[in-house]
Amino acid sequence: MSSSPKLAPPAIRLEDYDYPLPRERIAQEPVAPRDASRLMVLDRASRTRTHRRFLDLPALLRPGDLLVLNDTKVIPARIVGRKSTGGAVECLLLEETGPGSWEALCNATRELRAGVRIRFSDTEEARVSGRRGEKVVLEFPPEVAVPALLESRGEVPLPPYIRRDREGHPEAGDREGYQTVFARNPGAVAAPTAGLHFTRDLLAHLASAGVSVAFLTLHVGAGTFLPIRGDDARDHPMHSEAFVHPEATALAIARTREAGGRVVAVGTTVARVLESLGRDGVVHPARGRCDLYVLPGYRFRVVEALITNFHLPRSTLLLFVAAFAGPDWILESYRNAVDEGYRFYSYGDAMLIR
């Protein structure tokens, strides 16, 4: 007796995850103070939606809840050099893959071939050793301290939808504004934007309200801005990013769950790490690379509440929050956010889904 053939899962059509957004809704500057940003609260049990301020967060969480934050630090990874021919080359240094060896995205008038040297100062240069797909591999000699070079000559790699001058150079305030107050582990080229709303005072108020805090590190890469190409989101190759999930955070999560508290992920970066490690229901300490791709239909095992910003249409981040809150409701809530005048994207307002 033959069994019935298994049906392929339905396509996840990108056109279903689009929404109109007026340009003036894209935040160009952070609010001050940070926790004065608006906060849309989605309650999954009651299917209710309310509008608050981020500084109301202590009243919106419960004593015994655990906030897990990403303490990665954005490096000033955008730097301009010149080839020996004099042509300018703009480089975005993504990740050090070996001693002095960096993967980078480079813009130049002509293709950068192996052997080309790029000079960043009178004494500091790198040699192109090859390519890995769209990325260029740059080799720096041992005497060049790349972190110091970036600190002195690099710029914050703002996302392309934040407009500055004609060349896109960031403003002086972006070095502080595009960084969380708890950033401590350098390596990201994009901020974990849900964390940008926290102030030290707010963290103190949360502690007074009985909400605990723990940290992990995921170095957000340029892949977070990569568009999904094609019509079916399932076909997208998810980028990977380096992470560290320390033992102290694993223990805090275990204690919280045993006591009946909720694990509240601050940002999709945190949620991806926790879900990738907690597939058996226990979140173990680990380090490695995370490439978990969450699509609608995914069953969450660890994260019980999520703080996140408003994301680009047709993006992996929008698909993630649609998986957590439900596609129809999240898209309805995004349309409501546009109507209510919320600010979108990295410097924009936030959402608490609980």
Does 165 have pLDDT greater than 80?
A: no
Backbone φ, ψ for residue 104 (5° rounding): -145, 155
Q: Do 212 and 82 share a domain, yes or no?
A: no
pLDDT (0 to 100) of residue 169: 65
| Residue 11 falls inside a structural domain | no
Q: Which residues contact 326 (CB under 8 A, 6 or more apart)?
A: 44, 296
pLDDT (0 to 100) of residue 19: 95
Task: Write out pLDDT tens, residues 99-130.
Answer: 999 999 998 867 899 999 999 999 999 999 99
Does 214 have pLDDT greater than 90?
A: yes
Does 223 have pLDDT greater than 90?
A: no
Does 141 have pLDDT greater than 80?
A: yes
Q: Do 252 and 211 share a domain, yes or no?
A: yes
Q: What is the mean pLDDT of residues 232-243?
A: 93
Q: What is the mean pLDDT of residues 236-246?
A: 95
| Residue 310 falls inside a structural domain | yes
Q: What is the mean pLDDT of residues 18-25?
A: 96
Q: Do 113 and 149 share a domain, yes or no?
A: yes
The total number of structural domains that make up the chain: 2
Q: How confident is the model at residue 163 (pLDDT cuts 50, 70, 90)?
A: confident
Range of the domain at 92: 78-153
Q: How confident is the model at residue 2 (pLDDT cuts 50, 70, 90)?
A: very low
CB 188 within 8 A of CB 73: yes
Helix (H) or strand (E) holding 277: helix 268-277
Q: Do 199 and 259 share a domain, yes or no?
A: yes
| Residue 290 falls inside a structural domain | yes
Q: What is the mean pLDDT of residues 76-83?
A: 96
Does 200 have pLDDT greater than 80?
A: yes
Q: What is the mean pLDDT of residues 181-189?
A: 97
Task: Write out pLDDT tens, residues 259-280.
Answer: 999 999 999 999 999 999 998 8
pLDDT (0 to 100) of residue 7: 47
Which amino acid is present at 99? P
Residue recorded with tokens 């056109």: 15
The CATH number linked to 102 is 2.40.10.240
Q: How confident is the model at residue 225 (pLDDT cuts 50, 70, 90)?
A: confident
**E strand spans, the chain:** 38-43, 48-53, 66-70, 72-74, 78-83, 88-98, 101-107, 117-119, 125-132, 135-139, 185-188, 212-218, 241-245, 263-266, 286-290, 305-309, 350-353
The conformation of residue 45, written as its DSSP 8-state character, comes to T
More confident residue, 1 or 302: 302
Task: Write out pLDDT tens, residues 308-324.
Answer: 999 999 999 999 999 99
Of the chain, the percentage scoring pLDDT greater than 70 comes to 96
Q: Which residues contact 256 (CB under 8 A, 6 or more apart)?
A: 64, 65, 66, 212, 262, 263
